[in-house]
Structure 1
Amino acid sequence: MENLQFSDSLYEYSNWRSQLIATIEAYQDWRKRYDLEDANSTLTITNILQGLSQDRVTLAFVAEFSRGKTELINALFFAETGIRLLPSSPGRTTMCPAELFFDEDGGSYIRLIEIETRKEETPFSQLKKEMAQWTQIDLDCNNPEQMKSAFQELIAVKRVSRQTAIELGLYDEQEAAEQGIAIPETVEIPRWRHALISFPHPLLKAGLGILDTPGLNALGSEPELTLSMLPSAHAIVFVLAADTGVTKSDLNMWNNHVCRATNTSKQGLAIVMNKIDAMWDELDESGYELSIRSQVRATAESLGIAEKLIFPVSAKQALLAKIKHDDDLLERSRINALEAYLSQDIIDHRQKIMVDVVLRDVGFLIIESVTLTEIKIEKSTLLLEEAKQLTEQSQEKIAEMTNNAQLQQLAYFKNMEHFQASSTVFRAKLNALTEVLSPARFDNVFKTNKKEIDSSITTYIMKNGIKKMFADLHSLLNECVGTANDVQQFILKVHSEFDTEYGFKEIQPYLFQIQPYQAELEKVLNKGEAYRTSATITLTEKNMALQKLYNMLIFQARNILFQARREAMVWGENVMSPIKHQILDHKTLVENRLLVLRAANESEGKLKENVQRLEIELAQLKKQYDELNRIVHVMQQTSGFHEGQLVSLAQ
């Protein structure tokens, strides 16, 4: 992508995604027009299209309080409103995590959930679906002032008893005592636990999602923020203050939350050193530049990262410059370098990931369509050439050819019997695999271990209970490996048999792999254990946080296993289709050949009619093939991949 502002690059990415969706829809329509669709391939394509249409580029902003994080979000994305849309005035910072996106079906709103729900065991991802628990404020998108007023709810607070604050993990008596702070009877806490915000801002409509997190307190006591929501973001923007440098709490947040969330190659990272305007010196520009460079070096050393990932910025001045259209002030704010990085690195990387996903999911279907259509054209051409030469053949030769065609018809029935027998064996093997992955078996593991964990009186016992649960899950997955390998070997054997014994063109089957799910489960356990040992919270809160951690780990583990089972079932429905289609095409070809030979026995006129019919059918096949090639060509241009890449990824 060119060196554009983030907004320009996001719109460009959105247009690219729309073109890709249109191309896949054209392929889906091609299958419908030529009566080639089936339930399984239709489901696969529908899931791909749904995933693309719901795709978001999510940026997570993480910082301690008073680092100017929300002001940075305003400057990057919402300056054209002409106001400070999200509340970010001094002393009035966002108190709860907030997700900003566009919900086309739900409209414009702020949904808020009470802070007291932190006591519930229900995983937060599940609470998101329980709309009855949320308070909704409708937004008037034609009235920026109404929206600004509604957004003030994000900083709402209330006073509760000290004990309630402790139970919610929002007050630490030990820390207060160490700092010599008097123990209060009541404590001011955030009113809301989380906010979901939807409105039709052009960037949000184009697929931008924003996660705005509050300080260390929220990250330390909300496991899903650190272990699920942050890792799910496509980039994390970690905000520091230039006037304070990397503080102890910044370093704590960096080591225990940001680093743990960015341990994947699929995620970008940017460090913003905000509030550089506090260092501006009109009388000593060179000294100011040296100070900035010194701060960047010190920050890079403290965090152990490359200097190129650190962006000195003044979000406050950038917002002001954009509202006033002051190019000189915008340049001094240095926000352009950050926008260029987000555009070129984050969005471009996201586009490459989406290409890989599409190739993986739709590649096999396209290769199958291309190969089967080529086979049909080749065999139909040979049949047409044979039909045209029948006028020169003797009756004895035609009788011999008819007998040969009838033998081919018998071979078809033999092929079908072999296919049905192979399908029966395969179905039994696949059922054995899905049985090992059945929810009932895993739910039994969860249920058995949950009893022990619920009765734990120490965090040590709870920790061991969590580790035992994952050990039991690994045992079940290890059992799956042997079953999955057996299924894979059988499929390869069947494809090879039809290739060598019946002369079918082999379309290399893609194979179901259980190992990635094992690795994913291991990651969940490792992240959970790292979180448990690093959470800087009181013992009372730690027990509550560990209970929430356990519930979240169950939820994530169950999702991983559910996905493994679903993929195995979808794979099982699709992997035999190339053989099935070739058998059915072979049947049609043999029947056509018999019709032509019988026509040749009847009269020259009948033969001529059949030749004309074959010519029309071949022309239709070539038209069908040309249309498919155009679709593949457009997909190659849109996605930037070549045919060899399509083949290798499909396999």
Structure 2
Amino acid sequence: MRNPEFKEQLHEYSQWRSQLIQAIEMYQEWRIRYGMNDVHSTGTILNILNGLESDRVTLAFVAEFSRGKTELINALFFAETGVRLLPSAPGRTTMSPTEVFYDEEGGSYIRLLNIESRLEDISLAEYKNNPARWTQIDLNFDSPTQMQEAFKELIATKSVPRDVADKLGLWNEREAAEQGVVNPETVEIPCWRHALISFPHPLLKEGLCILDTPGLNALGTEPELTLNMLPSAQAIIFVLAADTGVTKSDLEMWRNHVCSARGGRKHGLAVVMNKIDSMWDDLAGETGYDAAIESQISTSAGILNIDESSIFPVSAKQALLAKVKSDNVLLEKSRLYSLEKYLSDDILKQRRQILLNTIKKDIGFLVGESSNLTDGKLTNATKQLEEFKKLDFENHEMTEKLMAETRDRQQHYMVNVENFQASRKVFSVQAKILIDSFAKEKVDEIIRQTREDMTKSLTTYGMKQQIRKLFDDLRDLLQDAVDTTNETRRLVKAIHKKFQDEYGFKEIEPQLFSIKQYQFELEQIFEEGEAFRTSAKTTLTEQSIVVNRLYSTLISKARNIMKHAQKDAAAWSNSVLTPLMHQIKDHKKQIEGRLQMLRKINESKGSVAENIAILEQELEPLKRQRSELATIIKAMQLDMSADSEQ
């Protein structure tokens, strides 16, 4: 599979996503048209649409220095420029983590964050929201050579006093001593901490985003890369060099950063064995060449504990040259085909499924509710029509009796609506207690106290104890919310059951709020942070700046988890009774409609057939409503049958 085919599949994915957006917009319009819209469902749907429109397929490339990672990126995506677009010449390597994407609003640029920003207690995510803090170089997409020249800034370095490098977390005395460097006056460090690159390449315009992470030192000193950015990528491509195999630093990077970012999952994780051209032996010939590659794959798979099928032997140098020269024979020899096929087939298919699962999780309940309500209205209207068909239209005494019974039902309904309103007030009080249990003020006070205690701690061990205390306090905060959550859930179930029992409402199992996922996420980031802190020995030894940044990253993630818990609790409490309210509203309409029909029948001078025809005609809008919804559900690719069987 050649790169144009990857481009075509990415384009197809982009079109599929656009169709999905269109279907969800149609669903929103359907809800408005048939009076099922409310502010909370609108917010849910708009959040999904915003997420889909900003969706990117992120591929993260991870490797130690001099593995040919950037050359691989050039070969995979940018060969048609005719130049080596990203700097990857021998002896020159990208020094700062780099994100390549297309920012339609911002245009073509490189934004560079200075290395000194490490001294500030501000996250990369916060910096990204403040373009003024970045040095910007404009790019001319029509001039690959101008872009190529501008990209040289990615490998820029500068010399600084050793104590400055130490403060920045870029000097390790033990590591330097192993390399024969003792007490230098100055140290060479990267000029830039992070780079953002935007230009309108066709693949980037379709939503591709490339994350290029340079070396173990970068991963070891930037916890946000390992704990935030790598886990959010759709795939991680880990690059080895065929001539060296798995080195000690490769293995450390693999175990402590790559595998942890996947959370133990092997899907979306590929290993590229680059530079297979270096294994060519004129004396051994083609057979010996193939055998050498297979042997290296087998050895590497054993060390990394993965299947051999997950390792892709490639010559990025040959692939780039072949694509620039349109040399199909050389391209075949580069073996890039298998990697491109993996990216096209596995990763894009996986991304589709993730989006569908997310949509089903977020609005599947709304769609199920719409379907149940629509079916219920049509079923009730059909039953009513069948009942009326059996009536003696000439017997006014019978119709008057039915009208009296219906009025009694209407009166009983109004009493119970008052009871529902009272129950809803009780629920609102309970829900507020639940929401307040995650209050920002409570979380920030815990974090403030931890930060204050951490500043008094001069050792890594002391910092570790403080961060452990932080997580213990946040665990306690979540645990305090358990009883409140359970009480709120019981109340919601009781309110639903009352109307199901008294009116025969179709049972719609209410969505129940749970804090388990937040407890799990909190434990997970604490474990990830501990694994990070204890693993990167070569970069974390006696470097408090890195430890501080690690804990700042953990605190930021913990705060976000609690923020999401409160936001989700508020959204849930605002919407959990909405399906029941829709049913109550429809029940009222059914009673009023029944009274109106009985009056028509009682007052009608027409024939029985004419009255029946009028009633049958009134079913048509309900049938159309259900048919439209079925078409929309099909367009959204939501299989609601599994939900209905549960």
Does TM, scored on the shorter chain, surpass 0.5? yes
Q: What's the counterpart of residue 108 of structure 1?
A: 108
Residue 160 of structure 2 aligns with an amino acid whose one-letter code is V
Q: Partners in 2 of 1:267 and 1:421 — Cα distance? A: 51
What's the offset of the Cα at 1:110?
Answer: 1.1
Task: Describe the superposition over 1:146-184 as per-residue Cα deviations: whole angstroms up to 9, x where unpaired.
Answer: 221221111111221121112112222332233322433
Query: Counterparts in 2 of 1:548-559, with a 5 A limit?
Result: 548-559=549-560
What's the offset of the Cα at 1:264?
Answer: 4.7
Q: How has the CA–CA distance of structure 1 residues 265 and 305 changed in structure 2, closer, same or farther, with 3 Å as cutoff?
A: closer
Q: Partners in 2 of 1:266 and 1:588 — Cα distance? A: 54
Q: Partners in 2 of 1:88 and 1:106 — Cα distance? A: 26
Q: Partners in 1 of 2:540 and 2:390 — Cα distance? A: 90
Q: How has the CA–CA distance of structure 1 residues 540 and 290 changed in structure 2, closer, same or farther, with 3 Å as cutoff?
A: closer
Q: How has the CA–CA distance of structure 1 residues 496 and 524 changed in structure 2, closer, same or farther, with 3 Å as cutoff?
A: same
What's the offset of the Cα at 1:443?
Answer: 1.0
Q: 2:275·2:315 contact (CA, 8 Å) conserved in 1?
A: yes
Q: What's the counterpart of residue 407 of structure 2?
A: 406
Task: Describe the superposition over 1:614-647 as per-residue Cα deviations: whole angstroms up to 9, x where unpaired.
Answer: 55542112111111111122333xxxx6332354
Residue 262 of structure 1 aligns with an amino acid whose one-letter code is R
What's the offset of the Cα at 1:333?
Answer: 0.5
Q: What's the counterpart of residue 642 of structure 1?
A: 639
Q: What's the counterpart of residue 89 of structure 1?
A: 89
Q: Partners in 1 of 2:51 and 2:618 — Cα distance? A: 37
Q: Partners in 2 of 1:576 and 1:332 — Cα distance? A: 63
Q: 2:48·2:359 contact (CA, 8 Å) conserved in 1?
A: yes
Task: Describe the superposition over 1:371-429 as per-residue Cα deviations: whole angstroms up to 9, x where unpaired.
Answer: 11111112223344555666624222122111111111112202311221221222122
What's the offset of the Cα at 1:290?
Answer: 1.0
Residue 574 (structure 1) aligned with residue 571 (structure 2): no
Task: Describe the superposition over 1:223-280 as per-residue Cα deviations: whole angstroms up to 9, x where unpaired.
Answer: 1111111111111111111111112221221222112212254851111111011112
Q: 2:237·2:270 contact (CA, 8 Å) conserved in 1?
A: yes
Q: What's the counterpart of residue 99 of structure 2?
A: 99
Residue 184 of structure 1 aligns with an amino acid whose one-letter code is P
Q: How has the CA–CA distance of structure 1 residues 266 and 473 changed in structure 2, closer, same or farther, with 3 Å as cutoff?
A: farther
Structure 2 unaligned runs (5+)?
A: none
Q: Partners in 2 of 1:549 and 1:610 — Cα distance? A: 76
Task: Describe the superposition over 1:466-511 as per-residue Cα deviations: whole angstroms up to 9, x where unpaired.
Answer: 0000001001111122221222222222222211222111112222
Residue 245 (structure 1) aligned with residue 245 (structure 2): yes
Q: How has the CA–CA distance of structure 1 residues 379 and 393 changed in structure 2, closer, same or farther, with 3 Å as cutoff?
A: farther
Q: 1:166·1:541 contact (CA, 8 Å) conserved in 2?
A: no
Q: CA RMSD in A?
A: 2.3
Structure 1 unaligned runs (5+)?
A: none
Task: Describe the superposition over 1:581-640 as per-residue Cα deviations: whole angstroms up to 9, x where unpaired.
Answer: 11111111212222233344444269999877655542112111111111122333xxxx
Residue 502 (structure 1) aligned with residue 489 (structure 2): no
SS class of match (1:194)? strand
SS class of match (1:189)? strand
The two structures have a TM-score, normalised by structure 1, of 0.94
Query: Counterparts in 2 of 1:16-415, with a 5 A limit?
Result: 16-265=16-265, 268-283=268-283, 284-386=285-387, 392-415=393-416
Task: Describe the superposition over 1:87-124 as per-residue Cα deviations: whole angstroms up to 9, x where unpaired.
Answer: 11111110100011122222221111100001111122
Residue 285 of structure 1 aligns with an amino acid whose one-letter code is E
Q: Partners in 2 of 1:462 and 1:525 — Cα distance? A: 13
Q: 1:415·1:583 contact (CA, 8 Å) conserved in 2?
A: no
Q: Partners in 2 of 1:353 and 1:553 — Cα distance? A: 26
Q: How has the CA–CA distance of structure 1 residues 106 and 635 changed in structure 2, closer, same or farther, with 3 Å as cutoff?
A: same
The two structures have a TM-score, normalised by structure 2, of 0.95
What's the offset of the Cα at 1:217?
Answer: 1.1
Residue 310 of structure 1 aligns with an amino acid whose one-letter code is I
SS class of match (1:245)? coil
Residue 588 (structure 1) aligned with residue 586 (structure 2): no
Query: Counterparts in 2 of 1:421-440, with a 5 A limit?
Result: 421-440=422-441
Q: 1:5·1:336 contact (CA, 8 Å) conserved in 2?
A: no
Q: What's the counterpart of residue 483 of structure 1?
A: 484
Residue 451 of structure 2 aligns with an amino acid whose one-letter code is K
Identical aligned pairs, as a percentage? 55
What's the offset of the Cα at 1:464?
Answer: 0.2
Q: Partners in 1 of 2:617 and 2:601 — Cα distance? A: 18
Task: Describe the superposition over 1:165-223 as per-residue Cα deviations: whole angstroms up to 9, x where unpaired.
Answer: 12112222332233322433222211110011111211112121111011111111111
Q: How has the CA–CA distance of structure 1 residues 250 and 540 changed in structure 2, closer, same or farther, with 3 Å as cutoff?
A: closer
Q: Partners in 2 of 1:2 and 1:398 — Cα distance? A: 75
Q: Partners in 2 of 1:631 and 1:325 — Cα distance? A: 45
Q: What's the counterpart of residue 10 of structure 1?
A: 10
SS class of match (1:442)? helix
Q: How has the CA–CA distance of structure 1 residues 164 and 148 changed in structure 2, closer, same or farther, with 3 Å as cutoff?
A: same
SS class of match (1:137)? strand
Q: 2:159·2:186 contact (CA, 8 Å) conserved in 1?
A: yes
Q: Partners in 2 of 1:18 and 1:326 — Cα distance? A: 35
Task: Describe the superposition over 1:436-478 as per-residue Cα deviations: whole angstroms up to 9, x where unpaired.
Answer: 1111111111111111111111111110000000001001111
Residue 504 of structure 1 aligns with an amino acid whose one-letter code is F
Q: Partners in 1 of 2:164 and 2:607 — Cα distance? A: 92
Task: Describe the superposition over 1:5-51 as per-residue Cα deviations: whole angstroms up to 9, x where unpaired.
Answer: 43333222222222211211111121122232111111111111111
Q: How has the CA–CA distance of structure 1 residues 565 and 608 changed in structure 2, closer, same or farther, with 3 Å as cutoff?
A: farther
Name whichever of 2-11 and 98-107 sits farther off. 2-11
Q: What's the counterpart of residue 632 of structure 1?
A: 633
Q: What's the counterpart of residue 524 of structure 2?
A: 523
Q: Partners in 2 of 1:195 and 1:492 — Cα distance? A: 51
Residue 483 of structure 1 aligns with an amino acid whose one-letter code is T
SS class of match (1:604)? coil
Task: Describe the superposition over 1:298-356 as per-residue Cα deviations: whole angstroms up to 9, x where unpaired.
Answer: 11122222211111110010111111111111111111111112222222222211111
Q: 2:393·2:602 contact (CA, 8 Å) conserved in 1?
A: no
Q: How has the CA–CA distance of structure 1 residues 599 and 572 changed in structure 2, closer, same or farther, with 3 Å as cutoff?
A: same
Q: How has the CA–CA distance of structure 1 residues 539 and 371 changed in structure 2, closer, same or farther, with 3 Å as cutoff?
A: closer
Q: How has the CA–CA distance of structure 1 residues 406 and 331 changed in structure 2, closer, same or farther, with 3 Å as cutoff?
A: same
Residue 483 of structure 2 aligns with an amino acid whose one-letter code is G
Q: Partners in 2 of 1:165 and 1:267 — Cα distance? A: 38
Residue 224 of structure 1 aligns with an amino acid whose one-letter code is E
Q: How has the CA–CA distance of structure 1 residues 593 and 125 changed in structure 2, closer, same or farther, with 3 Å as cutoff?
A: same
Q: 1:238·1:271 contact (CA, 8 Å) conserved in 2?
A: yes
Q: Partners in 2 of 1:288 and 1:540 — Cα distance? A: 42
SS class of match (2:269)? strand
SS class of match (1:392)? coil
Name whichever of 65-74 and 277-286 sits farther off. 277-286
Q: Partners in 1 of 2:632 and 2:410 — Cα distance? A: 35
Q: Partners in 1 of 2:152 and 2:607 — Cα distance? A: 83
Q: Partners in 1 of 2:367 and 2:87 — Cα distance? A: 49
Q: Partners in 2 of 1:606 and 1:121 — Cα distance? A: 83
